[in-house]
């Protein structure tokens, strides 16, 4: 029973987290959301992989979140930059609590997310047809994350948000690819790429405040 419910819970969880990540501007919320998202990724990958290998995704994802969070916390300048300029909004004088957390133009983001949702809904069975090894639920999960990750990439120019978008899209791919390839080397390299993306994100956040080494 639980093995049937868990994937559905995972789909709901990653739908909520990826949608919230799309509209939020707050770095704390974004990092909490991506950490939750990796729980859903773990549940979906565990359908095809042994639990201990699927746990690599969870650990790598949480570590990626921790790396990004620590980069922001460690530097007051980075924190100020992220909190004062929410993606192009220069008028930060009288912001309501709501606008602190939610991006300007959220209805538009939600509309775009809705379009992605419809596309994914129709594409998931097609993907299962193309790749017989993949069941509809993981296909749905993978495509949701791919779509929402790409959408996030298109809506932002901030390093942290771009890295979160890349991690989201990559997580979507990993769910799909886990059904096709269970090589330990690939699992390891994908974990390295996840951590590498987080490290690059952290580096780009703090690079402007670092002393030039030239």
Partner 1 sequence: MSAPLIWIVFPGIVAGLLYIIRRWRGAINIIGILVAILLAILAWRMPIGESFSLAGLAAIKIDQSLFIFGRRFILEDNIRSILILIYLGVAFWFGGASVSDSDRLFVPVGLGMAALLTAAIAVEPFLFAALIIEITALVSILILSPPGSSKHRGALRFLTFQTMGMPLILIAGWFLTGVETDPSDTDLILRVTALIGLGFALFMAIFPFHSWIPILTEETHLYAAAFVFFIIPQAVSLFLLIFLSRLTWFSAAPTVFATIRIMGMLMVLIGGIWAAFQSHLGRIMGYAAMMEIGFALLALSVLDPGFAAEGSDIVQGINLNTPLLGIFFAQFLPRLIGLAVWALALVIIRSRLGDLKFDAVQGGAYSLPIAAVSVVIATFSIAGMPLLAGFPVRVALYTALVEQSLLITLLSLIGVAGLLFAGFRTLAILLRKTELNGWHSTEKRSQILLLIFGWIILIIMGILPQFFLPALTELAGIFGSPVP
Contact call for residues 171 and 145 (beta carbons, < 8 A): yes
Least Cα distance to 34 among 70, 61, 6, 5 occurs for 61
The least CB distance from residue 152 to partner 1, in Å, is 11
Distance of CA 188 to the CA centre of its chain: 19
Q: Which stretch binds partner 1 (CB under 8 A): 23-31, 65-73, 109-117, 175-183?
A: 175-183
The least CB distance from residue 19 to partner 1, in Å, is 21
180: exposed, middle or buried (Cβ count in 10 Å: 0-12, 13-18, 19+): exposed
3-state helix, strand, coil in the chain (%, to 5): 80, 0, 20
Using CB under 8 A, pick the residue from 169, 175, 178, 202 that binds partner 1: 169
The least CB distance from residue 9 to partner 1, in Å, is 25
Question: Of 110 and 162, which has the nearer Cβ to partner 1?
Answer: 162
Contact call for residues 73 and 50 (beta carbons, < 8 A): no
| 210 makes contact with partner 1 (CB under 8 A) | yes
| 176 makes contact with partner 1 (CB under 8 A) | yes
The contact set with partner 1 (CB under 8 A) reads 130-131, 153, 157, 159, 162, 166, 169-170, 173, 176-177, 180-181, 183-186, 188-190, 192-193, 196-197, 199-200, 203-204, 207-208, 210-214
């Amino acid at each position: 029973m639980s093995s049937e419910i868990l994937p559905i819970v995972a789909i709901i969880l990653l739908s909520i987290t990826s949608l919230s990540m799309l509209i939020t501007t707050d770095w704390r919320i974004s990092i909490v959301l991506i950490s939750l998202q990796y729980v859903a990724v773990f549940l979906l990958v565990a359908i095809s992989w042994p639990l201990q290998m699927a746990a690599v995704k969870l650990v790598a994802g949480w570590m990626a979140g921790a790396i990004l969070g620590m980069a922001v916390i460690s530097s007051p300048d980075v924190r100020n930059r992220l909190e004062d300029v929410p993606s192009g909004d220069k008028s930060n004088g009288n912001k309501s609590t709501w606008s602190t957390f939610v991006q300007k133009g959220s209805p538009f983001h939600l509309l775009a997310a809705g379009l992605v949702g419809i596309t994914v809904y129709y594409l998931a069975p097609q993907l299962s047809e193309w790749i017989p090894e993949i069941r509809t639920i993981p296909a749905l999960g993978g495509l949701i994350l791919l779509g929402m990750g790409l959408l996030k990439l298109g809506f932002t120019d901030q390093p942290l948000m771009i890295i979160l978008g890349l991690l989201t899209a990559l997580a979507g791919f990993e769910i799909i690819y886990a059904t096709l390839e269970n090589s330990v080397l690939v699992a390891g390299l994908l974990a390295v790429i996840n951590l590498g993306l987080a490290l690059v994100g952290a580096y780009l956040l703090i690079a402007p405040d670092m002393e030039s080494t030239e």
